[in-house]
Structure 1
Amino acid sequence: MADGSLGRIAALIRQDGRLMLRDPAPLVVRTVMPLLIMGFMQPLFRTALRADDVQGANGSEQAVPGMAVMFLFFLVTVVGFAMFREHGWNTWDRLRAGPSRPFELVAGRIVVPLAVAVLQLAVVFGAGGLLFGLRVRGSYLALVAVGVPLALCVVMFGMALVSLCRTVSQFAVYANLAALLFAGLGGSLTPQSALPDWARALAPGVPSYWAMRGFNTIVIDGGGVAAVLLPIGVLCAFTAALTAVTLLFFRIDHRKISWS
């Protein structure tokens, strides 16, 4: 039984992987765009960080993690479109008729986007170091410890939206609005110290705030894994809550409306 379940999940993963490799352009754009924006934002962030008495700051300390977090949440659309695609292609009924259970359908759909999210973070941070002079003062292991739960949180946010939205248009609107809201409140667009008072009060309610808090602790303050346990724990809590929403509202017999 377990082998059969793993086999069905693996088949879904292979299918998603083939489709993503067939048209990688959207993923390439989501990786290149933050690098382009960093070039424009770095001087502004340099001024803001030096105003906060961050010694030797060149702006990349805010630009790289900020753009990495912001554009990672735009990856939510990739998660959703993979699910709505099945309805648009009229292949969802075939999946329903097969032996796959709802849990297997969800599990099979999160692995490829999760791998892409982790790879996107790695590329953006790596390119930030090479192109913009980012110097990580803390532990690289701590970067991974924050980045992986952040990536999983993004993927499960996408699955939760899929379970709640009936049409792909609804999903796209909510996903993009959330990405922009999370970027603003979380400190991706400006250092958290520069946020207005009302935004500072709301900021801890979004996962991007805790991701930026963790990355800032590592990049600027030189922290290690022990220093970012709180952000890691909160990101895991967000992921658990989004997983619960997905499992509660996801129904295999729900009809979704795609563009095609």
Structure 2
Amino acid sequence: MLTAENIRKSVGDHRVLTGVDLSVSAGQVVGLMGVNGAGKTTLISILAGLERPDAGSVQVAGVDALRHHRAAASHLGIAPQTLGIYPTLTVRENLACFAGLAGLTGRTARTRVQDVAALMGLPEALNRPAGQLSGGQQRRLHTGMAILHRPEILFLDEPTVGSPPARCAIRRPFSPPRSPPSAATPRSCPMCRSLVRAWRLRTWRSRAHIRSRTKGSAMSLLRSYSIARTSWQLQLRDPASSVIMTVLPLILIAVLIPSAKAQLVLSGYPNATGAEQTVPGLAVLYAFLSVEQVTTLFFREHAWGTWDRLRASPASTADIVIGKVVVRFLVQLAQTALVFTAGGLLFGYRPNGSVLAIAIIVVVFTAMLVCFGVMLVALCRTMDQANTIGMLGGMVMAGLGGALAPVSSFPGWVQSVAPFTPAYWVLDALRRLTLEHATLADVAPATGIALAFAAGFALIAALCFRSSAVKIGTT
């Protein structure tokens, strides 16, 4: 069922694992014992696909786990040592997320969520936010998320660390059984010995019916949808940033319209009201400032300990990234659309060009922002770094691109630099569509250049993104 041979791992000059061999058959329960720093968690991380060894091989249910992680992950369940739950989501939503990642849908998923909550002693807490649970209850939820899909191999890394009262509750799903899975549980205490002697997961059935139901691209879409649903739920729990980034530009539009009107008149638009500059300009500026919401999506997963849980699931890195950014793309698109719509209703913004072309350029711009945010995640180690660079870079690009004043009013050297920013091409297209009766064909070159910036950001993100990279986020 689980075989590891000659596993070696070093961190710098320190040899953590030096030729570890392990063989676990179906029905066995194995405890890893050792002093702190002996390499128990490192070994579990390698067996679960969260780390790569310097040498050695891992076979999971006949699958080469190092070469085919996703295939092996469908056989595995892992509750890492570090607690990994979404504190702002309910117990039900936490469990449902990982049910979806395992391919469970509809009534099957709902029933399994109820069953696991009952097994872990949490049926009364299903609708409570996980962050409001006691430490022992959170640890039980953490473990329940690992057994949702009835894995054939289960890793429990320090399942009761920091919460002694949780020990009896963690035992509840384990009893003398039929056909249990293998389990590897590092715990240097009598509880581990008890687990090794007697515990078994009960009522375990083959996952063949789950794996055969959806395959290939359909399964990837299902996993991305599950992650997107969770991201949407997280967005609903904390909408403040999105609301602020929608309301603030409308306040500033009211303040800046008179000066914008004077600038447009001097630039050759005598009939301008000022809304033609401030509405698209501030919509673009605050959209750039909203990039921090993209980076926060990823760094917060690391702070909550849920990123490694996603990586240990059958979902690919692409499944995870797509599931997370699609919600942010739609939310940002809605924010920008609301600013344009409110600009028309409150300040008389009336573009005289193609409205369809405006919609297309806004969609392209939003996609570019999401790609820019993912690139920052790939390049930065901490959330503070990513948010600082994103905010400063966004302000500079939007400012040089003409968000606060027409580019024609800038000094000559600034005008020569402006075309090197993506905001310039977006705002140039919006200006022409707003003031010069432009059509989609007229702004096609500017739209193409904005797309090229988006592709460039996406390429850098794809080349530099490492799902195993250590990131430091805050909650």
Question: Shorter chain as normaliser: what TM range?
Answer: over 0.9
CA offset at residue 182 of structure 1?
A: 1.1
CA offset at residue 61 of structure 1?
A: 0.5
Match of 1:24 in 2: 239
CA offset at residue 6 of structure 1?
A: 0.6
CA deviations on 1:81-125 (whole Å, 9 max, x unpaired) are 000011000111111111111111221121011101211111111
**Matches of residues 26-45 of structure 1 in structure 2 within 5 Å?**
26-45=241-260
Q: Which has the larger radius of gyration?
A: 2
AA matched with 2:423: S
AA matched with 1:128: G
**Matches of residues 170-181 of structure 1 in structure 2 within 5 Å?**
170-181=385-396
Among 213, 216, 220, the residue aligned to 2:431? 216
CA deviations on 1:53-101 (whole Å, 9 max, x unpaired) are 2031010000000000000111110000000011000111111111111
Greater fraction of residues in helix: 1
- Give distance in 1, aligned partners of 2:458 and 2:452: 10
Match of 1:229 in 2: 444
AA matched with 1:241: G
Match of 2:344 in 1: 129
CA deviations on 1:131-169 (whole Å, 9 max, x unpaired) are 111111011101011110000000110000000000011
- Give distance in 2, aligned partners of 1:180 and 1:95: 33
- The alignment status of 1:79 with 2:294, answered yes or no, reads yes
- The alignment status of 1:204 with 2:419, answered yes or no, reads yes
Greater fraction of residues in strand: 2
Match of 2:379 in 1: 164
TM-score after normalising by structure 1 = 0.98
- Give distance in 2, aligned partners of 1:127 and 1:179: 23
What is the SS of the residue equivalent to 2:466?
A: coil
**Matches of residues 28-177 of structure 1 in structure 2 within 5 Å?**
28-177=243-392
Identity across aligned pairs (percent)? Answer: 39
Match of 2:221 in 1: 6
What is the SS of the residue equivalent to 1:226?
A: coil
- Give distance in 1, aligned partners of 2:314 and 2:422: 35
Contact 2:262 / 2:274 at 8 angstroms: preserved in 1? yes
- Give distance in 2, aligned partners of 1:253 and 1:94: 12
- Give distance in 2, aligned partners of 1:56 and 1:228: 22
Contact 2:432 / 2:438 at 8 angstroms: preserved in 1? yes
Match of 1:193 in 2: 408
- Give distance in 1, aligned partners of 2:232 and 2:308: 21
AA matched with 1:86: E
- Give distance in 1, aligned partners of 2:322 and 2:332: 16
What is the SS of the residue equivalent to 1:227?
A: coil
CA deviations on 1:219-241 (whole Å, 9 max, x unpaired) are 01011111110111011101111
- Give distance in 2, aligned partners of 1:257 and 1:23: 20
AA matched with 1:27: S
CA offset at residue 205 of structure 1?
A: 1.1
Contact 2:267 / 2:409 at 8 angstroms: preserved in 1? no
CA offset at residue 259 of structure 1?
A: 2.4
Contact 2:302 / 2:473 at 8 angstroms: preserved in 1? yes
Match of 2:474 in 1: 259
Unaligned runs of 5+ residues in structure 1 are: none
- Give distance in 2, aligned partners of 1:234 and 1:117: 21
Unaligned runs of 5+ residues in structure 2 are: 1-215
Contact 2:400 / 2:424 at 8 angstroms: preserved in 1? yes
AA matched with 1:55: P
**Larger relative contact order (CA 8 Å, sep ≥ 6):** 1
Match of 1:244 in 2: 459
AA matched with 1:101: S
TM-score after normalising by structure 2 = 0.54
- Pairwise CA RMSD of aligned residues? 0.9
What is the SS of the residue equivalent to 2:405?
A: coil
CA deviations on 1:169-190 (whole Å, 9 max, x unpaired) are 1111101101110121110011
